[in-house]
Amino acid sequence: MKNKILNIILTVILISIVLLFTGCTSSKEENKVETTNNIKKSESMLNADRIMVDGSYQIRFSDLVSLSDLQEYNNKTVTAIGYLSPITSYDGSFGYLMNLPYQTCPYCMPSDTKITNTIAIFSKSGKKIEFTEAAIMVRGTLKLEEYTDAYGYSYNYRIVDATIEEADTSELGEKIVLYNKLAEKEIMTNLIETLYAVDNNVYYDEYISQGATYDRAIVDLTNLEKVIDDLKEFNKEDVSILVNMANSLKEIAEDTNYLIKQKNYTKIVEYKERTLQLFYDLNNWMGIYEL
């Protein structure tokens, strides 16, 4: 079944690569400044402000820490802040920490010599990783070694014996504080579940041709109505994008539900473009909260 968010992310990555190699992203002077900033960033990796109160070393996605920089911390305690991917192992023994919320694409970008957008995390024996929308802090032992997990993903760094707690968003800025408040109400989960339910109806013919087996069904709008009500508790300007998405999704869902009742399946496909646009809007919104 089509993963709209994954396709959109891959498209953005491909466009970025094209721009990089055509030299369209910056002038020579800008490249010089960027190189200088990267050197300064690399030199500051081992500064004292990277050491947590408990003595652990803090890994940050935004630093794109190289494996050579991490060698000193192999088999030592580290902490990392990010978001859990909804994809976790069947038994909850491992999952993926990511730089963007609600990503279902671990290792979309190559995992070679840089921390990119994903760090695999393995819980302590007997403990389970439970999905949460909130930004979290992971603490565990850094392992630099070749490893292939049960899903077939291979990587050369991971965190084992991990414990998870909600991140202290006060140090991450106001926007992450807002994100975690939205996460408490499961705004993303309820919105995305409804969006995928609508998507199943709109793209039904394509999914069936790809081997999916299900019937079109009336979409329950209970969770979406809850999203719309919950968003009223926030400042309008802060959540205007989400409000617009939720209202647009409700309109599409009501229209397509009516068409399903009428068995007018031909007209349902006319909602493909509007539904796809919601995936783009959602992906853009999540990009605001990159760590």
Share of the chain above pLDDT 90, in %: 47
Token pair 């909804």: residue: 86
pLDDT (0 to 100) of residue 42: 40
Provide the β-strand partners of residue 160.
Answer: 141
Residue predicted with more confidence, 135 or 42: 135
Nearest residue to 101 (alpha-carbon basis) of 70, 69, 55, 132: 132
Confidence of residue 170 (pLDDT cuts 50, 70, 90): confident
Confidence of residue 270 (pLDDT cuts 50, 70, 90): very high
Confidence of residue 23 (pLDDT cuts 50, 70, 90): very low
Share of the chain above pLDDT 70, in %: 76
Rounded to 10°, the helix 174-184/187-202 angle is 70
Using one digit for the tens of pLDDT, what is the confidence trace for 96-136?
999 888 887 777 654 444 556 888 999 988 788 988 888 99
Mean per-residue pLDDT, 155-166 = 90
Using one digit for the tens of pLDDT, what is the confidence trace for 202-236?
999 999 999 999 999 999 999 999 999 999 999 99
pLDDT (0 to 100) of residue 50: 62
Confidence of residue 267 (pLDDT cuts 50, 70, 90): very high
Which of 33-37, 115-119, 241-245 is most confident?
A: 241-245
pLDDT (0 to 100) of residue 109: 56
| Ranges 85-94, 191-200, 245-254: which has the least confidence | 85-94
Does 32 have pLDDT greater than 80? no
Q: What is the CATH number of domain 48-173?
A: 2.40.50.140
- pTM value is 0.74
Does 9 have pLDDT greater than 80? no
pLDDT (0 to 100) of residue 64: 58
